[in-house]
Copies of this chain bind each other. A is one copy, B any other.
Amino acid sequence: VTIAKPSGKYHHGDLRQALLLAAKQVIEEQGSKSLTLRGVARLAGVSPAAPYRHFIDKNQLLTEVANQGFEELCDDLAVVQERGISDPARRMQALGVAYVLFATKNPAQFRFMFGSDVPVPDPSTSLAQAKQRAFGYLLDSMKECQRIGLVREGNARYFALCSWSMVHGVASLYVDGQLPTLVPEPHAPEEIAALVTATLWSGLFAAHKQSDRSHG
């Protein structure tokens, strides 16, 4: 899919998709503050009014970009899911690491997805549903861990909330560039994600100690 309209042609072909791609590109390269509807139209080689044939307003464009971001996040989580990791504990941890890695690999996009540029959606929208779907991966994995007896009894949604909060908090700190000032040595995202999820894990285990996990 190409962004710029072929010169000399009047109709674009797939302007809607081109605008979404252009918007994502601007976010990645210059941050969401530089994201302008007119600028996006310019990148697509089209007039300032053209986007209004495909989106109600700028907000709808932003919401759709965020939506695609959450779909990508879900894809990453799905890849982990389908890797078929036999140990549910390791799978759970892999999901957390994947979450943090998504943020570190697409920091601008991650900031945007949870930032104040995109308005809070009501639960019926596809954006809200995509968010819930991402949460679902953690939840399912958590339930599986409970079923096998790896995680102690209790409301799985709360446990999943804890798990989600943790990786989300770390990811947020990372993209805000604050991790280096808070923890002593610089660690690779994988390491720090694993370390944090492991720490949570040792709290979820019914067994007494899991020093091998929580330090490895």
Among the listed stretches A38-46, A78-86, A154-162, which one makes contact with chain B, having 4 or more residues with CB under 8 Å of it? A154-162
Q: Which residues of B contact A203 (CB under 8 A)?
A: 199-204
Interface flags, A183-197, vs B, CB<8A=1, else 0: 110000000000110
Chain B residues whose C-beta falls within 8 Å of the C-beta of A195 in the assembled complex: 158
Nearest B-chain residue to A207, judged by Cβ = B208
CB of A182 within 8 A of chain B? yes
Contact of A116 (CB < 8 Å), options: B33, B123, B128, B215 = B33
CA distance A90 to B41 in the complex (A): 55
Q: At the interface, yes or no: A14 with Cβ under 8 Å from chain B?
A: no
Contact of A120 with B by CB under 8 A: yes
- A contacts, CB < 8 Å to B: 31-33, 111-112, 114-117, 120, 123, 128, 131-132, 135, 154-155, 157-162, 164-170, 172-173, 176-179, 181-184, 195-196, 199-204, 208, 214-215
Known: A168-B169, A203-B199. A158 touches B176 (CB 8 A): no
Q: What chain B residues lie within 8 Å of A123 (beta carbons)?
A: 181
| Contacting pair B178 A131 (CB below 8 A) | yes
Task: Name 14 interchain pairs, CB-CB below 8 A, sorted by A.
Answer: A111-B116, A114-B176, A131-B178, A154-B215, A158-B196, A161-B182, A164-B169, A164-B173, A165-B166, A165-B167, A165-B170, A200-B200, A201-B203, A203-B204
